[in-house]
Amino acid sequence: MPEMRRSMCRPQPSLLSRLNCKPCNHVLFFMVGVGLGALFLRNKELNADRQKEEK
C-alpha cells in the first residue's frame, strides 16, 4: 500500500495566500464549525434555563 502524505502548505504572510491554501481552509472551516456549534449549544441551554425560571 503506498504511503499517504498530507500536503502542507507554507503560506506567505499575506491573507490571500492563506485563503488559497487548501489545508488552511480545512482548519479554518473546522474552527468556524466548532465555534458555531458551541454558540448553538450555549444558546439552547440558556433558553431552556429561562423557560424553567418563567414557570
Render the burial of 7-23: b for 16+ CB within 10 Å, e for the rest.
eeeeeeeeeeeeeebee
Confidence of residue 17 (pLDDT cuts 50, 70, 90): confident
Higher pLDDT, 48 or 12: 48
pTM of the model: 0.57
What is the C-alpha separation between 12 and 6, in angstroms, rounded?
Answer: 19
Higher pLDDT, 30 or 27: 30
- Cell 479554518 maps to which residue? 28
